[in-house]
C-alpha cells in the first residue's frame, strides 16, 4: 500500500494510553528527526573527561556532522579527524592509515592530551580492521596517553548494546583498579553535574561520604581517582551496562536510582541507598511535604493550562505525567517512541485514570506533519524541547535527562520551573537548535 507523504494519516503516529499494550508501539521504519538538538550525543559525551581529545577516523560524509558539532560548542581544539578516501579502502592498509594518522595528529598538537578517544566507524568493521593491533601500537608509541576505543557506528543501532550505551561504557575504561574506599562514591552516566541539593547527594554528604561526579570535574587525576570508589550510582538507563562492567572489572558495587517522580519509589530507593552506605535511613516526611507545597503553589498559578511532556525531558516521563495529573495539572499529550520496563506501573495507572491521553511518536515520519499552531494567548506549557517544538510554544521547561536533579528536590525544582514557563516566554528556536545543551569544551 502506498503512503501519501504529503498528507499522511497522523492517527498512525499516536496511540491512546488506554490502548497501549507494548513498550514499542511505533514500528521503526522511515524516521523523522525534529530540530530539537539539546540531547547529548557521542560527539559531546567525551568532553566530560578532563583533558580528553577526540579523533574521528572516517569518510567525509560521516565526519561532516561531528565536526559541525565540535565547532558549535567551541571544541575544535579537542577534536581532530583522519579522512578515509576510496583508495584507502582498496589498498588494504586501513591499520596503517589509522595508526599513522593518529600519530601525526598527536605529534602536532600544541598540548599533550591526557586521554585520547579515536573513533572507529562502520567501515572499519565492514573491512575487518584489526582494532586490537591498532591500540596496542598506539599505546606503545604514546605510553603517557590513555587511549579509549570509541565507536561511531549508527548501522549497529539494533545490536545488543546501542552506540550510546557503548559510549557510556567507554567513558570509564581508563579508570584503573585500586583499593576501594568505603567512604567514596561515584555518580556515572549523566551529562549534567548532579545537583548538590539532590536527595541522595545530601544524604551522602551528611554522613561524610566523598563523591566523584565526572560531569563536574576539571582535573584528570580526579577522573582516575574514580577507581577508589566502592559504589557507583546511576539514574539513566543508558548507564546500566557501564555499572555492570565496572562491578566486574573493578569490584565496585552499583545501585540504580531512577529519575522517578513517584514518592514511594523515591523513599524506597533512598532507603536502599542508606542500607548500602550502612547509615540510618532518612526521614523524608518534611521533604515530601515541601514537594507537595511546591506543586500546590505551581497549580495555583498554572491552573488548567495544557501541558505536554516529552521523553527527552526525563527517562521516566510517564511517572512525571502521573505526578502532575494526580495533583490536578492538565497534561494533555505525551511525546515518546518507546517505554522502559520500569514505566509499566505508571502506564497501568494512566490507563486506568487517563486512558484518552495520546502518546505521540517523535521519530515516525508522520511527526513532521503535526499541527504546530500555538494555542490562544500562548498558554500551552511544554516540558522538554521536543514537546516545545511539536506544540509550537515558547512557554516550556528546558529539561533534558532530568538536568541532574534527583528526588523531592527535582520535584520542587520542576514546580518552580513550571511557574517560570507559564509567566515567561522563551525563544524556542534559538534554544532547541543548539546541540548538547550545556556542553562546553
Model pLDDT for residues 284-329, shown as the tens digit of each residue: 999 999 999 999 999 999 999 999 999 999 999 999 999 999 999 9
Cα pseudo-dihedral 199, 202, 204, 209, rounded to 10: 160
| pLDDT score for 271 | 98
Question: 363 φ, ψ to 5°?
Answer: -105, -20
Residue 132, burial from CB neighbour count under 10 angstroms (0-12, 13-18, 19+): exposed
Same fold, 181-257 and 290-433: yes
**What residues pair up with 231 in beta bridges, in sequence order?**
185, 253
Question: 14 φ, ψ to 5°?
Answer: -150, 160
Domain ranges of the chain: 45-171, 181-257, 290-433
Instruction: Report how far residue 170's alpha carbon sits from residue 159's, in angstroms, rounded to the nearest whole number.
Output: 16
Instruction: Report how far residue 61's alpha carbon sits from residue 65's, in angstroms, rounded to the nearest whole number.
Output: 8
Cα–Cα nearest to 72, from 320, 392, 438, 355: 438
Cα–Cα nearest to 127, from 165, 90, 161: 90
Looking at the structure, give the CATH architecture of the domain made up of residues 290-433. 3-Layer(aba) Sandwich (3.40)
Question: Could you tell me the CATH superfamily of domain 45-171?
Answer: Nitrogenase molybdenum iron protein domain (3.40.50.1980)
Instruction: Report how far residue 344's alpha carbon sits from residue 17's, in angstroms, rounded to the nearest whole number.
Output: 11
Sign of CA dihedral 139, 142, 148, 149: negative
| Pairing of the two strands 380-383 and 358-360 | unpaired
Per-residue pLDDT of the chain (441 residues; tens, 9 = 90+): 566 667 788 999 999 999 999 999 998 888 899 999 999 988 899 999 999 999 999 888 888 888 888 888 888 899 999 988 888 788 888 899 999 999 999 999 999 999 999 998 888 878 888 899 999 999 999 999 999 998 887 766 566 788 889 999 999 999 999 999 999 999 999 999 999 999 999 999 999 999 999 999 999 999 999 999 999 999 999 999 999 999 999 999 999 999 999 999 999 999 999 999 999 999 999 999 999 999 999 999 999 999 999 999 999 999 999 999 999 999 999 999 999 999 999 999 999 999 999 999 999 999 999 987 654 456 899 999 999 999 999 999 999 999 999 999 999 999 999 999 999 999 999 999 988 888 876
Whole-prediction pTM: 0.93
Grid cell digits, residue 39: 540531547
User: Looking at the domain 181-257, which fold is it?
Assistant: Rossmann fold (3.40.50)
Question: 412 φ, ψ to 5°?
Answer: -65, -40
Collapsed DSSP state (helix, strand, coil) of residue 96: helix
Helix (H) or strand (E) holding 13: none
| pLDDT score for 159 | 64
| pLDDT score for 93 | 86
Grid cell digits, residue 365: 515520519
Instruction: Report how far residue 311's alpha carbon sits from residue 361's, in angstroms, rounded to the nearest whole number.
Output: 10
176-203 as b/e, with b when 16 or more CB fall inside 10 Å? eeeeeeeebbbbbbbbbbbbeebbbbbb
| Pairing of the two strands 115-121 and 52-58 | parallel
Amino acid at each position: 500500500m502506498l503512503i501519501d507523504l504529503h498528507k499522511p494519516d497522523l492517527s498512525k503516529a499516536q496511540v491512546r494510553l488506554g490502548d497501549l499494550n507494548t513498550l514499542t508501539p511505533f514500528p521503526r521504519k522511515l524516521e523523522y528527526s525534529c530540530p530539537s538538538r539539546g540531547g547529548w550525543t557521542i560527539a559531546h559525551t567525551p568532553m566530560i573527561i578532563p583533558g580528553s581529545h577526540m579523533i574521528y577516523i572516517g569518510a567525509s560524509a560521516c565526519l561532516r556532522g561531528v565536526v559541525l558539532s565540535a565547532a558549535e560548542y567551541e571544541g575544535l581544539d579537542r577534536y581532530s579527524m583522519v579522512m578515509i578516501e576510496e583508495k584507502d579502502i582498496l589498498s588494504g592498509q586501513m591499520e596503517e592509515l589509522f595508526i599513522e594518522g593518529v600519530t601525526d595528529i598527536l605529534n602536532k598538537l600544541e598540548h599533550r592530551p591526557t586521554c585520547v578517544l579515536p573513533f572507529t566507524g562502520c567501515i572499519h568493521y565492514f573491512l575487518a580492521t584489526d582494532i586490537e593491533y591498532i591500540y596496542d601500537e598506539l599505546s606503545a608509541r604514546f605510553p603517557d596517553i590513555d587511549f579509549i576505543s570509541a565507536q561511531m557506528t549508527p548501522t549497529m543501532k539494533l545490536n545488543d548494546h546501542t552506540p550510546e550505551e557503548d559510549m557510556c561504557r567507554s567513558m570509564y575504561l581508563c579508570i584503573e583498579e585500586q583499593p576501594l574506599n568505603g567512604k567514596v562514591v561515584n555518580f556515572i552516566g549523566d551529562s549534567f553535574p548532579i545537583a548538590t541539593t539532590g536527595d541522595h547527594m545530601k544524604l551522602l554528604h551528611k554522613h561524610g561520604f566523598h563523591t566523584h561526579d565526572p560531569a563536574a570535574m576539571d582535573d584528570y587525576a580526579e577522573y582516575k581517582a574514580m577507581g577508589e570508589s566502592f559504589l557507583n550510582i546511576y539514574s539513566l538507563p543508558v548507564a546500566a551496562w557501564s555499572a555492570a562492567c565496572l562491578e566486574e572489572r573493578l569490584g565496585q558495587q552499583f545501585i540504580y536510582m531512577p529519575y522517578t517522580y513517584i514518592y514511594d519509589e523515591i523513599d524506597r530507593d533512598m532507603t536502599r541507598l542508606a542500607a548500602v552506605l550502612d547509615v540510618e535511613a532518612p526521614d523524608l516526611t518534611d521533604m515530601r511535604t515541601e514537594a507537595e507545597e511546591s506543586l500546590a503553589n505551581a497549580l495555583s498559578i498554572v491552573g488548567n493550562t495544557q501541558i505536554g511532556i516529552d521523553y527527552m525531558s526525563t527517562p521516566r516521563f510517564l511517572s512525571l505525567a502521573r505526578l502532575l495529573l494526580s495533583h490536578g495539572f492538565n497534561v494533555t499529550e505525551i511525546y515518546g517512541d518507546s517505554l522502559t520496563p520500569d514505566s509499566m506501573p505508571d502506564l497501568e495507572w494512566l490507563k486506568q485514570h487517563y486512558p484518552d491521553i495520546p502518546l505521540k511518536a517523535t521519530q515516525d515520519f508522520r511527526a513532521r506533519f503535526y499541527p504546530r499552531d500555538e494555542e490562544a494567548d500562548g498558554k500551552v506549557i511544554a516540558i522538554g524541547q521536543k514537546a516545545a517544538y511539536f506544540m509550537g510554544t515558547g512557554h516550556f521547561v528546558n529539561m533534558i535527562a532530568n538536568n541532574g536533579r534527583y528526588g523531592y528536590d527535582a520535584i520542587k525544582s520542576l514546580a518552580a520551573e513550571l511557574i517560570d514557563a507559564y509567566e515567561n516566554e522563551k525563544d524556542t528556536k534559538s534554544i532547541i537548535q543548539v546541540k548538547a545543551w550545556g556542553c562546553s569544551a
